[in-house]
């Protein structure tokens, strides 16, 4: 896999020591781990908020101070607690983008994110989950090369979150977007292309999510709970009742009845 961002020998406070990671291009990447493992700090470093000179390589080129502005134009981040807007309503934000954004994309995102009815409501009157969706819409309309998301699944129902993931995967494929998402819920990693598990500022495990999540003993040891279907599948495989990991409960029941 070709890499879009590479971090080499990163040292930051007491969180990262000689940290290295290569993030594949045009993939949906998830980063998980126990609390205080460095997930949000890594997002802030990648976004340029905590820029670390001589540690970040973007598309094969070292990002130094004089190249930081160019790098930041390629990167968009969404940290729920730090959302800000230029204007007061979604309508005003969309008007400012009218010459840059595709009208079909605007119509599609407004509909799929269920935002059409709140275009003229002041942001100060909206809840955080709605503000996250608005920020996501504006980011996608700006067509970044890399989208950074910090544990947004915490703020949505399972149904709403899955809808957002479906939208993101569509944009990732159509716009050749790289998405890097942190999550405290391992179940959210299943639909991504690649998974990193952080522990105390180092990469503890990495690989395709379905392969990493089968290492149940290792994950349980560091305090991470496996998704129910993965956990059940692993246990049933141990007893030779099934041969493959199964994520769908109905198909699991069919296999057990055969």
Alpha-carbon 253 to chain mean position: 31
Residue range(s) defining the domain that contains residue 85: 3-210
Residue 36 lies in a domain: yes
Please report, for the domain that includes residue 151, its CATH number: 3.40.50.300
Residue 236 lies in a domain: no
Q: Of 30, 36, 32, 31, nearest to 15 (Cα)?
A: 36
Residue 246 lies in a domain: no
Residue 147 lies in a domain: yes
Residue 95 lies in a domain: yes
Would you state the pLDDT for residue 1? 63
pLDDT tens-place string over residues 27-74: 999 999 998 899 999 999 999 999 887 789 998 888 887 788 889 999
Would you state the pLDDT for residue 12? 93
**CA–CA distance, 78 with 44 (Å, rounded to integer):** 10
Task: Tell me how far CA of residue 209 lies from CA of 139, 195, 230, in angstroms.
Answer: 26, 5, 11
Q: How many domains does the chain have?
A: 1
Residue 90 lies in a domain: yes
Residue 235 lies in a domain: no
Would you state the pLDDT for residue 242? 80
Would you state the pLDDT for residue 89? 97
pTM, 2 dp: 0.91
Task: Tell me how far CA of residue 161 lies from CA of 133, 148, 164, in angstroms.
Answer: 10, 16, 5
Would you state the pLDDT for residue 253? 81
Would you state the pLDDT for residue 225? 85
Would you state the pLDDT for residue 227? 82
Would you state the pLDDT for residue 256? 80
Q: Of 191, 241, 199, nearest to 218 (Cα)?
A: 199
Residues in the chain with pLDDT values less than 70: 1, 258
Degrees to nearest 5, angle at CA 208 with 3 and 239:
165
Residue 247: which H helix or E strand, with range? none
Residue 107 lies in a domain: yes
Would you state the pLDDT for residue 212? 93
């Amino acid at each position: 896999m070709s890499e879009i961002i590479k971090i080499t020998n990163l040292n930051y406070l007491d969180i990262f020591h000689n940290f290295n990671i290569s993030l594949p291009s045009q993939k949906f990447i998830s980063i998980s781990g126990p609390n205080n493992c460095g997930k949000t700090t890594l997002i802030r470093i990648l976004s340029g908020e905590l820029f670390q000179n001589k540690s970040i390589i973007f598309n094969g080129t070292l990002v130094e101070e004089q190249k930081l502005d160019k790098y930041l134009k390629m990167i968009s981040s969404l940290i729920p607690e730090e959302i800000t807007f230029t204007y007061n309503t979604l309508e005003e934000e969309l008007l400012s983008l009218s010459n840059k954004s595709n009208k079909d994309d605007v119509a599609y995102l407004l509909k799929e994110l269920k935002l059409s009815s709140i275009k003229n409501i002041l942001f100060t009157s909206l809840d955080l989950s709605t503000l996250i969706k608005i920020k996501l819409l504006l980011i996608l309309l700006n067509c970044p090369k890399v989208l950074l998301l910090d544990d947004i699944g915490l703020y949505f129902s399972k149904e709403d979150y899955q809808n957002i993931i479906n939208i993101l995967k569509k944009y990732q494929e159509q716009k050749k977007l790289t998405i890097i998402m942190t999550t405290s819920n391992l179940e959210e990693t299943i639909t991504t292309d690649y998974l990193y598990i952080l522990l105390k500022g180092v990469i503890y495990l990495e690989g395709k999510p379905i392969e990493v999540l089968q290492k149940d003993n290792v994950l349980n040891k560091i305090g991470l709970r496996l998704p129910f279907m993965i956990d059940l599948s692993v246990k049933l495989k141990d007893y030779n009742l099934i041969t493959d990991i199964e994520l769908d409960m109905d198909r699991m029941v069919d296999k057990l009845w055969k």
